[in-house]
A and B are shown apart, each in its own frame.
Chain A
């Protein structure tokens, strides 16, 4: 699965228009094996953009009925930064219940998880997966996928901002020297314990630096982050790498 996620993020990085994003979100649905995957950007003037696998009739119906004003998911995500399980929301009002019935009729599913995202200048978007299953199955799904989905949601939004043009965020790719050092040593094949020793920081601190660097690089995991940093020339490993060619007088004897 890690490989599939890496490939997915690689393709996301190459995406250059909305059609690409639509293809990607379709593939993501297959990858995480849910009924629907949806990206929904709400601009401050109330315009809505997005892509995803909801039936077009439902999307049309949603816009026509101005459901954005009563959709508990939008209310529950707006001004929040934690991922929202739909079951936690308040569906008790008459309008919310009618909306839910309609959504179910259109096959949206009885379960959902939405990740709120904030971009520059108050930009707001949600990344949603929805599905038909029991509460137990959904809890297990969230346990397995929540973190990956949070990260994918943010990468997806960065790409959407980039495609939208004028509001493109500056790529937060700049790694600090410490992050560069950490990734360099990992690329050279040292374990985390050794790397933290070499940098004179705790392993815990190293994990936080790597987590942050991974997000800046748009990577699926640590190995992927190292590979990307190498491929993009952000880190260089030269002759000092273990196992590389080269010799030094007396080195062999010293190793014996």
Chain B
């Protein structure tokens, strides 16, 4: 299932938390060879994890991490503004309607529908909270995965070569994309809404117009 968890709520899900930070170490250090910090617990954490970001996490049936990504508003500190300004043409992105999405991570055994489910989760955030755009940082192989799940970003540029190549891209929300991603994720729309509500609280029953 999809969970939407702020960093200060992660302790409610210790197994999910620990496996997420370990899967990040596995993806970014072991498989991609990025120069990321991994602590004594085997967790890959960086300074942006300390800013109380919002994680969208795919939780597997056994309570472990299947995939995740991390969101921060661009009104505060962000990785794109602090590290990838040159890929943004020097434009410092700053708007409460634009969120940053980083550390897109999949467990090495996760099937592609997990990636689709995560993109669906991102779309639900946009739809519910009035977010217009995401600006994302991702590794090069994600470009193909994003295309496959029907949610291709506009790629602004990339730095580095091969496995260590890092790209910056943009997404916005469209109802068409949502339908496509829902299909790839193999999730019913109502189920996605139910997951969203179990994290953010329930709204009264009513006929949805959108």
The reply to whether B170 and A135 contact each other, CB–CB distance below 8 Å, is no
Number of residues on chain B facing chain A (CB within 8 A): 40
Q: Roughly how many angstroms separate A174 CA and B132 CA in the complex, as a whole number?
A: 22
Residue of A nearest to B155 (CB): A202
Q: Is the CB of A154 within 8 A of B209?
A: no
A13 to chain B: which residues have CB within 8 Å? none
| Interface residue B75 (Cβ < 8 Å from any Cβ of A) | yes
A147/B206 in contact, CB under 8 A: no
Nearest residue (CB) in A for B85 is A176
The chain B residue with its CB closest to the CB of A87 is B203
- Residue numbers in B under 8 Å from A82 (CB-CB): 54, 125, 128-129, 200
- Residues B93 and A212 in contact, CB atoms below 8 Å apart: yes
Q: Which of B89, B90, B94, B209 has the most chain A CB atoms inside 10 A of its CB?
A: B89
A208 touches B170 (CB 8 A): yes
Residue of B with least CB distance to A149: B130
Residues of B within 8 Å of A140, CB to CB, are: 209
B141 at the interface (CB under 8 A from A): no
Least CB distance, B123 to chain A, in whole angstroms: 14
The minimal Cβ–Cβ distance linking A138 to chain B, given in whole angstroms, is 9
Of B76, B91, B154, B201, which one neighbours A90 at CB under 8 angstroms?
B201
Known: A79-B8, A135-B204, A178-B91. A150 touches B96 (CB 8 A): yes
A124 to chain B, nearest CB (A): 12
Instruction: With A88-B203, A179-B91, A201-B89 as known contacts, state yes or no: A211 contacts B75, CB within 8 Å.
Output: no
B43 on the A face (CB < 8 A): no
- A209 to B93 alpha-carbon distance, docked (Å): 7
Residue-by-residue, is A204-234 near B (CB-CB < 8 Å gives 1, otherwise 0)?
1101110110111000000000000000000
Residues of chain A within 8 A of B16, CB atoms compared: none
B residues near A216, Cβ cutoff 8 Å: 94
| Given known contacts A88-B200, A88-B202, A209-B91, A81 and B54 CB-to-CB distance under 8 angstroms | yes
* Interchain nearest-CB distance for B178 vs A (Å): 16
Question: Chain A interface mostly helix, strand, loop or mixed?
Answer: helix
Counting CB contacts under 8 A, is A170 at the interface? Answer: no
A214 (CB) vs chain B CBs: closest residue: B95
- Measured between C-beta atoms, what is the minimum distance from A164 to chain B in Å? 18
Q: Which residues of B contact A178 (CB under 8 A)?
A: 89-91
In chain B, what residue has the closest Cβ to A172?
B94
Q: Does A53 count as interface, using CB distance less than 8 angstroms? A: no
B178-210 contacts to A (CB < 8 Å): 197, 200-204, 206-207, 209-210
Sample 24 A-B pairs with CB under 8 A, ordered by A number: A79-B52, A81-B54, A82-B125, A82-B129, A88-B203, A118-B76, A139-B203, A139-B209, A143-B210, A146-B130, A150-B97, A151-B96, A154-B75, A176-B90, A177-B90, A201-B156, A204-B154, A205-B154, A208-B133, A209-B91, A211-B97, A211-B98, A212-B93, A215-B96
List A residues at the B interface (Cβ < 8 Å): 79-83, 85, 87-90, 118, 135-136, 139-140, 143, 146-147, 150-151, 153-154, 172, 174, 176-179, 201-202, 204-205, 207-209, 211-212, 214-216
Known: A83-B130, A118-B75, A215-B94. 16 other contacts (CB 8 A): A81-B72, A81-B73, A82-B128, A83-B129, A87-B203, A135-B206, A136-B206, A139-B209, A146-B129, A146-B130, A150-B96, A178-B90, A207-B133, A211-B132, A212-B74, A212-B93
